[in-house]
Every structure is written in C-alpha cells, then in structure tokens.
C-alpha cells in the first residue's frame, strides 16, 4: 500500500492532524531507521493508528471500516480460514449475494485477495481497517467455532443415544454414519484451531473425556456422553485404518485431513483401558518451512556451534531429550538449513512427521521387517551426502549411524537421554567403541520446551532471597556473563537490576502464555572432551568440562530467556524438574 510522503504530509497538514515541523522530523527518523513515516508518527503518539488508517483510506479512495465491537456471523467469518486471516490480516465481515466484503490492513495484498476469490468464488470488495479491528475479529474465530462445536456435539450425540447397544458387526456402519463423522470432524477442527499438539479421548465410568495438550500442558476440553464412545472410537479407527473388531490389543495408525486450509497429519494410538479404549492423537502440521535456529531458541555460542556443525560434511549431530522435547523440530530445522541443490539428503523416520521438498523421506515398517537398521543399510547405498535417522534405539542402528558418519556422510539423529552429556555414556552402553565415538560425534544438543509469555506481562526484580535461590539452582555467574557477551544486559549489570517477568492473564491470552520455545545445552565434542570419553568419564565429568568451555546448561539457558522476557523462571524450573 504505497502513499508518497509528500501526499501524506500535505493531507495531514491540511487536516491539522500533524504539523509540518513534526512531519519533517518523523520523515528524517524514518529514513535513518528504514521504517515508514506513519510508523514513526504512531511511535511518538503524534497520530493514532485509527486516524492514520482513516487517512490512508481517504487518500486511496478506499472505504474504511472499524470492526471493534462488531459481531460477525460465523458463516461469513469462516469463509476465510483462520490461518489465512491471521497471516494476511484479512477478515471476511459482510456477505451479500455474490459479493464478499473483506477488511484488510494492506489492500495491495493481491495474492490474498486472489486466493479468497478462488476459494469462495465470490466478488471480493477490499476495505481498509486498523490493527485493533483485526485483533478483535480474530478472537471471534474461537468463539464461533466453540459455539458451532457445542451445537453439533449436542445434536449428534442425542442422535446416537437412540442407537442403543452396538454389536461388532454394526461398528463399521456406525463409523460411516453422519453423527460420528460430524462429531469427529468438528473435534479435529476445534483442536487444530486451539493449537493443540495432542488430543486425548479417555473413556470414564459415565462419560467420555476429551483433553487437549496446548503448549505442553493438558487441558480439559469437553465431556461427551458415554453412549458416544463407540461411534467416536469406531470413526477414528476407520480413519486410521485400524481393526474395528479388536478391543483387547493396542493399535497404531495414521491419517491426514485438511483443517482451515492447512494439511494436518494425525498419528493415532489406541490403548485398551478398564472403561474402554483410550485414544491419543498427535497433530503434525505438515510444513515446517520458515523455521530457523534463532526462531526455535538458539543464540550466542550455541548458535555458532550449530552453524559450524552444519557446515561439516562428515560426523554426527545428536538431539537429545525425552518425548515431546522438540527434537524432531530441531532436526528438521537443521535439514532445512543444509537442504541445497548441491546435496542429496535421505531420511529414515518413524513416523515421517513433516514433509520437506527435495528430501527423500522413508517410513520404517517393523511389521514387515523394515527397521531403522535395515533402512539405514539401504540409504547409504543411495549415494547420500546427508542422512537423518529418526531415532537411535539399539546397538545395530547406532553402529550403522557411526559407520555412515565415518564414511563421508553427515548424520543427524535423536537419542532419548536427559542431557547432552548423557548421550555419550548411553552410546557407550549400547556397545559403541570410545575411539569410534570421538572420531564421529560433533555436537550433542540437550533440550526441553518451555511456554512463551504473551506480549502483555508483569515486570519485577528478584528479591535478595530469590537471588540466593537462583544462585543455588544454576551457575548465575555464567548466565550473567553470557548475557553481557551477547549485549542482552549492560556491561556492569548485576542480578539486582536484571528484570524478570510473570504471566499476565487477558482475554486475548487466558493463561498468560502462548506458544513454546526451546531451551538448550549444546555440547561440542572438543579435544579435551574426547580425552575424557577415552578415559570412560561419567556424564557429570563431561558436563563439567563442557561448562568450563562455555556451555550453558538447559537450566541456565532457560534463566537467560527468562531474563529476556521470553518465559518465566517458574516455567524453566517446572520443565527441568520433570
């Protein structure tokens, strides 16, 4: 949306909104900072955002609309999928015949307008709006979906109540029935819109409990009547290609669906329990493009070490941590960095969590004898430059990964250990010879995920007792030193004048947290650590040496991020102590 500074200056001066002198000062500052004059004027409170947006609309001859306080019909709002609306700041608010009125921050976003035209087959009428209107309208997606969900669930579970007792031979018919299809479809859309990473469907004595894991924490979402359990379970089993008549043994499956214009894969696990079959579905968004090491939480020396490791053509990089620590995201981010036209990348995974262009991804199938070890043997005959092994689970896979990194390949993999230093004794325990390990292992990354604070948060300074507790928990001196090196605090700062933050609940952000970020310890296998490995040193001795060479532990990295306002001290301690 281009408006010349001369045109804007003339209009604002004529309207008496901004003086010529103030505009000239803002124009000079805008050129120095590389931002727009409008943004500078807003930053100095010379003009409000609403006034500026109305000015732009008037100059461009485009109608201006304010949606703050306006309730939009859910049927109209949902014509634009929420991810598209959020990403492009565009809201559908008026639908009349074959015309659709949309409010936008940038009416020059022709790609978004063209997408909506093709999706809705309606004539799109762009209108200019402000950020407050977009923010208010985006909240209505959740409210509208929740109301819609409640209506569907209530109506369809009432219909199921009439079916009575269900026999095995009737399960398939029930799974394909309208009620089961609508309930499960609505449930999946709601979970995806909430940003859930997992859906838990748990049979209780008199109800069916639905829970979502959002930002690593489980929340009760709703309770369905007990009579809905058979239909919901049967529907999910059909989607995941499982046996409908098997109720005594665990089953695993997978299916894909499109939700709000986004392709999502669901990894399904069914486990028999006392009151029925419990289902857990992991939601896997199929695209991870755009992730960088910085965006997932790496910084400073750890970031440099990771980039150095990716520039190598041989050796092994390991991501370590428990289930749900974000190890796969770290590996996929590394793959995205090294994915250039000059290299051949092959992976062997269980399951393939994200699909990536120009990467040959292979799914293991243990039921037919196609394991990590067998797959890795085949991969190294495919002339790869870079190999990613989803997980090192046994001695055979570990040996093959080590051999692949010895013979001219860069190998990326994950290992279930509590810390970066713990990866070395774990591999030795698997039977890997120390001299092979020191010849191949480049970096071990220990990691966890912590919840991120929302934009609105409460600032505070540590009391003397809290400072003393912090110094007992982590090496506070090492954290402060790293913060000074990265210029995150002033060079003469002490813990007395470093601010921390607490979550602040709001309508936009009910828990005070939104999203997650990694906390990491990046252990580089230096020559001194290689000597310790050859002497069969313990994980504690290796970690101590790594710390002396500049490694921040996960707890210390977490405190670093807490001091930056990314998360809280309480959240870091919760995750580290789990």
- Does this model's pTM top 0.85? My answer is no
Residue 171 is predicted with a pLDDT of: 76
Model confidence at 170: pLDDT above 60: yes
Residue 185 is predicted with a pLDDT of: 87
The tokens 């669930």 sit on which residue? 153
In angstroms, rounded to a whole number, what is the distance separating the alpha carbons of residues 477 and 547? 12
DSSP 427-458: HHHTT--HHHHHHHEEEEEEEEEEEEEPSSEE
* Percent of the chain's residues with pLDDT above 90: 47
Residue 137 is predicted with a pLDDT of: 86
pLDDT tens for each residue of 389-426:
999 999 999 999 999 999 999 999 999 999 999 999 99
SS3 469: helix
**Of 360 and 35, more confident:** 360
In angstroms, rounded to a whole number, what is the distance separating the alpha carbons of residues 78 and 92? 8
Same fold, 163-285 and 300-577: no
SS3 376: helix
Q: Are 53 and 129 in contact (CB under 8 A)?
A: yes
Mean pLDDT in residue range 83-94: 84
* Percent of the chain's residues with pLDDT above 70: 83
Model confidence at 148: pLDDT above 70: no
pLDDT tens for each residue of 521-563:
999 999 999 999 999 999 999 999 999 999 999 999 999 999 9
Closest C-alpha to 17, from 40, 44, 48, 39: 48
Residue 398 is predicted with a pLDDT of: 95
In angstroms, rounded to a whole number, what is the distance separating the alpha carbons of residues 317 and 401? 11
CA 430 to chain centre: 32
CATH class of 163-285: alpha beta
Residue 155 — pLDDT band, cuts 50, 70, 90? confident
In angstroms, rounded to a whole number, what is the distance separating the alpha carbons of residues 358 and 369? 27
Domain extents in the chain: 5-60, 163-285, 300-577
Model confidence at 373: pLDDT above 70: yes
Q: Put the strands of the sheet holding 345-349 in their side by side order.
A: 360-363, 345-349, 386-389, 410-415, 315-320, 441-453, 513-524
Q: Judging by beta carbons within 10 Å of its beta carbon (0-12, 13-18, 19+), is residue 491 exposed, middle or buried? A: exposed
Q: What are phi and psi of 292, to 5 degrees?
A: -130, 165
Mean pLDDT in residue range 8-12: 57
SS3 75: helix
pLDDT tens for each residue of 448-478:
999 999 888 999 999 988 888 888 889 999 9
pLDDT tens for each residue of 235-284:
999 999 999 989 999 999 889 887 655 678 899 999 999 999 999 999 98
User: Which CA distances in Å does 498 have to 52, 464, 501?
Assistant: 37, 13, 10
CATH number corresponding to 300-577: 3.40.50.300
Q: How many CA atoms lie within 13 A of 247 on its CB side?
A: 13
- Go through the chain and tell me how many residues it has: 578
């Amino acid at each position: 949306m281009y408006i010349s500074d001369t045109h804007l200056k003339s209009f604002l001066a004529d309207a008496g909104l901004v003086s010529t002198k103030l505009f000239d000062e803002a124009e000079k500052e805008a050129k120095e900072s590389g931002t727009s004059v409008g943004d500078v004027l807003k930053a100095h409170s010379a003009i409000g955002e609403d006034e500026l947006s109305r000015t732009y609309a008037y100059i461009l001859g485009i109608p201006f609309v304010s949606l703050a306080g306006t309730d939009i019909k859910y049927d109209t709002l949902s014509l634009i999928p929420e991810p598209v609306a959020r990403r492009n700041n565009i809201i559908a608010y008026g639908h009349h015949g074959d015309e659709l009125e949309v409010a936008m921050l940038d009416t020059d976003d022709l790609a978004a307008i063209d997408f909506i035209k093709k999706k809705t087959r309606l004539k799109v009428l762009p209108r200019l709006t402000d950020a407050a209107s977009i923010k208010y309208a985006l909240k209505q997606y959740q409210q509208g979906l929740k109301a819609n969900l409640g209506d569907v669930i209530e109506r369809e579970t009432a219909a199921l109540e009439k079916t009575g007792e269900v026999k095995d031979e009737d399960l398939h018919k029930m799974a394909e029935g309208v009620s089961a299809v609508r309930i499960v479809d609505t449930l999946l859309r709601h979970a995806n819109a909430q940003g859930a990473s997992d859906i838990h469907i748990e049979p209780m004595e008199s109800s069916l409990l639905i829970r979502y894991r959002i930002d690593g924490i489980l929340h009760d979402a709703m309770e369905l009547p007990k009579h809905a359990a058979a239909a919901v379970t049967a529907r999910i089993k059909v989607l995941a290609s499982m046996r409908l008549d098997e109720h005594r043994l665990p089953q695993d499956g997978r299916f894909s669906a499109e939700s709000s214009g986004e392709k999502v894969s669901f990894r399904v696990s069914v486990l028999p329990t006392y009151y029925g079959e419990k289902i857990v579905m992991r939601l896997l968004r199929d695209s991870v493009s755009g992730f960088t090491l910085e965006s997932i939480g790496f910084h400073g020396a750890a970031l440099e070490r990771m980039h150095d490791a990716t520039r190598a053509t041989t050796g092994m990089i390991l991501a370590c941590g428990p289930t749900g620590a974000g190890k796969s995201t770290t590996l996929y981010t590394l793959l995205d960095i090294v994915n250039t036209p000059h290299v051949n990348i092959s992976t062997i995974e269980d399951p393939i969590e994200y699909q990536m262009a120009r990467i040959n991804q292979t799914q293991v199938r243990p039921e037919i004898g196609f394991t990590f070890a067998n797959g890795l043997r085949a991969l190294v005959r495919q002339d790869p430059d870079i190999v990613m092994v989803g997980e090192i689970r046994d001695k055979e896979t570990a040996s093959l990964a080590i051999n692949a990194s010895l013979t001219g390949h860069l190998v990326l993999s994950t290992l279930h250990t509590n810390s970066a230093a713990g990866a070395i004794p774990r591999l030795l325990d698997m039977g890997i010879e120390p001299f092979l390990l020191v010849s191949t292992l480049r970096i071990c990354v220990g990691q966890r995920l912590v919840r991120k604070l929302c934009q609105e948060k409460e600032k505070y300074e540590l009391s003397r007792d809290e400072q003393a507790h912090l110094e007992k928990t982590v090496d506070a001196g090492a954290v402060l030193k790293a913060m000074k090196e990265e210029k995150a605090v002033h060079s003469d700062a002490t813990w007395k004048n470093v601010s921390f933050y607490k979550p602040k609940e709001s309508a936009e952000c009910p828990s005070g947290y939104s999203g997650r970020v990694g906390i990491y310890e990046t252990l580089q296998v230096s020559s001194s650590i290689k000597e310790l490995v050859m002497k069969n040193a313990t994980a504690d001795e290796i970690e101590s040496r790594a710390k002396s060479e500049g490694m921040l532990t996960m707890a210390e990295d977490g405190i670093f991020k807490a001091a930056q306002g990314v998360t809280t001290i309480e959240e870091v301690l919760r995750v580290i102590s789990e």
